[in-house]
Amino acid sequence: MKCRVCREPAVIEVRRHNAGFCQGCFLTHCRNQVERVIKEHSMIAPGDRVLVAVSGGKDSLALWDILLRLGYSTDGLYIGLGIEGYSEGSGGYAKRFAAEKGAELLDVDLPRDYGYDVKTGAAADHRVPCSACGLSKRHIFDRAALDGGYDVVATGHNLDDEAAVLLGNVLHWDLAYMARQRPVLPGGDGFPRKVKPLVRLGERETAAYCVLSGIDYQVEECPMSVGNRQLGYKDALNAIEERSPGTKSAFYSGFLERGAELVAHADVDGRESLHPCSKCGAPTTSRETCAFCRLVERATSEQRRRITVGTP
Amino acid sequence: MGGVKVLLRNPRREVEVAGPVGVLPLLNKLGYKREAVLVIVDGALVTGDSTIAEGSEVEIRPVISGGAVEAGAGSPLQQPSSS
């Protein structure tokens, strides 16, 4: 297989583009895709300070690398989730990347800074681990962005992530969620702007970007995510993609171009009914404390109870 | 020379297959979808039409990650703080 651009031997094929790329042309292709999506959706304005959500995995490190190369002013934020046998490794990848690039990495650790880990938080708050993780990350990223004076938070959600979420929302006809499935979520009312510059790249491409750029990332899957619903949707989409390359991209981009406006009426984001959390001040629809503060309270009570009764 | 050593992930383990072998037949034999993995031969990425020589060291690297579930698209307001 030859590179579509320069006709040198290809190292990766992107079946939905019916194309192969050599190393150099592939890296350029990825950076061009990200630059295009940032401009198309007005994600980052000149001079904006960007906080990149960094997990140590392929997507967030590829994103940070591309934004740095495109010349954006970025810092990273890594959140240690306290997942035994996993979080130590993921933090190491994030820190080594930042050190190699001479970039600033902020570091929040759930056990150290908030007194709980994801597993305990999930059990105490009666959530699945991925839900407790998502809630914690959203709160901490929002807070760090606002406290640090960042204009925008960039996350590494890729085409596969977005297509899987869309499939889940369609399967449940969840119009309100569909109406808010956009690559840019506006800031204001106590929230930072949030952008997803990787939505044009599949996760096979972000992984290949890291391999071809020499970025070392955590390949191992989070043990808490085993069997989660999103993985099932990705598997189903990949089975379709195998037979019909381009389906995932058509599904997601078609939604943005033609589907989103059909469900826009269902966008009730609840901002008009927000109040500051009585404990941390973050916006919440609750009259008292926000969901994050309630999770922290329940998780730390559980930790205290365990210590008192001497159970591990 | 021996066969072709193949490193698999999640969980990490190693299998050996007879070489030479094509990338796609190898993926089919081991039950992988090509959309879900990268194939790295002796440290270099290869395309699906490549043939892997006997004695090569291969890694089949999964690219699918679960990540934190964000109901809907992950808006701070998609899971309202009161939920």
**pLDDT tens digits for range A108-123:** 999 999 999 999 999 9
> Nearest by CB to B45, which of A137, A212, A228?
A212
Please say whether the beta carbons of B68 and A130 come within 8 A.
yes
**Cβ contact, residue pair B66, A204, below 8 Å:** no
Give how far B3 is from chain A: nearest CA, Å.
Answer: 23
| Lowest-pLDDT choice from A53-67, A176-190, A263-277, B31-45 | A263-277
**Cβ contact, residue pair B73, A180, below 8 Å:** yes
Q: Does the pLDDT at position A268 exceed 90? A: no
For the stretch A84-113, pLDDT in tens is 989 999 999 999 999 999 999 999 999 999
How large is the C-alpha radius of gyration of chain B? Answer: 18
Angle A178-A181-A185 (CA atoms, 0-180°, nearest 5)? 140
- Compare all CA atoms of chain B with the CA of A130 and give the residue at the minimum distance: B68
Give how far A115 is from chain B: nearest CA, Å.
Answer: 20
Please say whether the beta carbons of A241 and A199 come within 8 A.
no
Give how far A101 is from chain B: nearest CA, Å.
Answer: 23
Instruction: Return d(Cα A193, Cα A42) in angstroms, integer.
Output: 11
How much is the pLDDT for B70? 43
Instruction: Return d(Cα A265, Cα A249) in angstroms, integer.
Output: 24
How much is the pLDDT for B75? 35
Confidence band for B39, pLDDT divided at 50, 70 and 90: very high
Instruction: Return d(Cα A247, Cα A16) in angstroms, integer.
Output: 8
With CA atoms as reference, report the closest residue to B51 among B7, B27, B21.
B21
**Cβ contact, residue pair B64, A238, below 8 Å:** yes
pLDDT (average), residues A136-158:
96
**Cβ contact, residue pair A220, B81, below 8 Å:** no
Instruction: Return d(Cα A137, Cα A157) in angstroms, integer.
Output: 14
Q: Which two tokens stand for residue A20?
A: 């192969």
**Cβ contact, residue pair A138, B76, below 8 Å:** yes
Q: Is the peptide bond before B11 cis (omega within 30 degrees of 0)?
A: yes
- Chain B residues with beta carbon closer than 8 angstroms to that of A152: none
DSSP secondary structure letter of residue B71: S
Domains and CATH numbers, chain A: 1-39 (no CATH), 41-202+240-274 (3.40.50.620)
The one-letter amino acid at A265: H
How much is the pLDDT for B68? 45
B interface with A, Cβ–Cβ < 8 A, is: 9-10, 12, 33-38, 40, 44-49, 61-83
Please say whether the beta carbons of B43 and A142 come within 8 A.
no
Give how far A205 is from chain B: nearest CA, Å.
Answer: 9
In this predicted complex, what is the ipTM? 0.87
Q: Is A51 exposed, middle or buried (0-12, 13-18, 19+ CB in 10 A)?
A: buried
What is the average pLDDT score of chain A?
Answer: 93
Q: Which two tokens stand for residue A240?
A: 């379709």
Q: Does the pLDDT at position B81 exceed 60? A: no
